[in-house]
Structure 1
Amino acid sequence: MKDKKEVSGVEYNEKLLEVRGLKKYFEKHKGIFRKKVEHVKAVDDVSFFINKKETFGLVGESGCGKSTTGRTIIRLYKPTSGKILYDGEDIGKLDEKDLMPYRKKIQMIFQDPYASLNTRMTVADIIGEPMEIHNIASGKEKEERIIELLNLVGLSKIHASRYPHEFSGGQRQRIGIARALSVNPEFIICDEPISALDVSIQAQVVNMLEDLQESFGLTYLFIAHDLSMVRHISDRIGVMYLGSLVEVADRNELYDNPIHPYTKALLSSIPIPDPELAEKTERIILEGDVPSPINPPSGCKFRTRCKYKSDICKETVPKLIDVGNKHYVACHLLQN
């Protein structure tokens, strides 16, 4: 695979998206009459920003809230609280009518290429439908644009009349990418776009996403659990645990100098192809299970699995602080 280009310093006026104190709680009803309400705190006070033409990687264990974060940003879920600023406009509070212009600017590539495509529609219909909804193209112009998009993602004109079940997983994901590109978006949320694909296909899809970013000046939120792939494609990376961000840094800074105990454990799980080097590398095994998002621990959510915990970890929620080199960590070890 190609190596991701380095990006220079961060300036405020380069920001395309800024998330401030984002929360997404899901209600869960209990009891015979289902009157008791519990809240699943899927996303709990998350803040970060993404610069224009940048790729921000979001990683963490399954169930940590990274996909919910992406779906809330694109407003598939209505946020419980917090702000989602897109070019300075808080889109978290807009109704469906006012959201329409942003539906065009922000698109999503879904994790499952089998479930994200309508099996009763042809490829041409799947790619062409967003163009009609947003009044971008119709008739012959739409047909030409569909063929152009198919060629762009490595397919051809002959595929336009076929149905999703006639394609492999990698080809279906290419169709999903073509659909996302059909409305000329600025920002694409990639929700684990390669996790359901064969390893041999994953690199092809990632390289294609990088080529498209360079050609069209796209901005990505890249959500994944493949830590080596996230390092390859991302400019900056945020690490999530139980609905909250615990560390944010430039990709090389994060991988070369992880600070939070959870990040260290996460990175130690990356397979090393060299057997001799793998034997010398310390594996950090976390004890216990991930707590329930319905009733998360007080204070630091990671304290139930952290060997460095102290009394303050139980009492106070750690805040993300800058430890230098634009490296942000939420840990009381650094704040005492």
Structure 2
Amino acid sequence: MRAFVLSATDTPPEVVETPMPEPKAGEIRLKIRACGLNFADLLMARGEYQERPALPFTMGMEVAGVIDALGEGVMGFAPGQRVAAFAGRGGLAEYGCFPAHSCLPIPDAMPFEHAAGFMVAYGTSHVALAHRARLTEGETLLVLGAAGGVGLTAVEIGAQLGARVVAVARGAEKLAVAKAAGALVLIDSESADLKAEFKALGGVDVVYDAVGEPAASAALRALRPEGRFVVIGFAGGEIPKFPANILLVKNIDVIGLYWGGYAVFKPQVITESLGQLMAMYAKGQLHPHVSHALPLEETAQGMELMRSRKSTGKVVITMPE
């Protein structure tokens, strides 16, 4: 079978022929139909992600496909069933084996391209906003990087939770995508004076930051007393340094959110969140945005689209039936 494999962090990953994997006890084997790309994949390819699998390994953090085989002891799943899985790696291949506990049945009406990009992006934003930031109806949510893979889901979920959503993104095209997802206020990060624009908002209650500096510092100062600043990632490349005096004087919370970490220390948070998200999708309340769907041999191009910020929403790699 073909797989997108990273052999060394000083050479780019590539599509190679590898043996068909066999499911171990507690695992299922998927005939993979789609794999969502994430910014973490870019970091992992450079050896800069917080999790560093032993080399060589097949990349791809989240997948969707059809169960092909069951390992010993697996209950509750059956061959032919459509599922999504989050396992951190192994998704950019024609077949993959994943722990059964990391798999989630998907509705028949959910396309594989939606399912493959659903768990990480929507899961991150839902846990960040509903569980960590405690966003409530009527509050103002400021989303940095609002047209990106996770940022766009934060716009959509924030709007569903009844917040006034302010979207910050680069250029009119990306802002139009954020507006379609539910943003009420649009700010162009490329041309605007962010400090002045944020001040003109009259205060915000929650900041969702997947970008980092320089926007992070301006957003922090826009928070109202008892505001919450949620740290998602640093796609802009510069990690913020929060001035403790501002946190103290305004009683501000800075909250970290690493969605994958919950799978280790509190998995019920992810399970409950994904259940709620699947119900929202089934009701037509969520509309995943896939800007590019590419074949496996164009995975490197898909990663470059993310790196150069030429994509919106998700980039998904698809496999043949």
The TM-score with structure 2 as length reference comes to 0.26
Structure number having the greater strand percentage: 2
Q: Which has the larger radius of gyration?
A: 1
The TM-score with structure 1 as length reference comes to 0.25
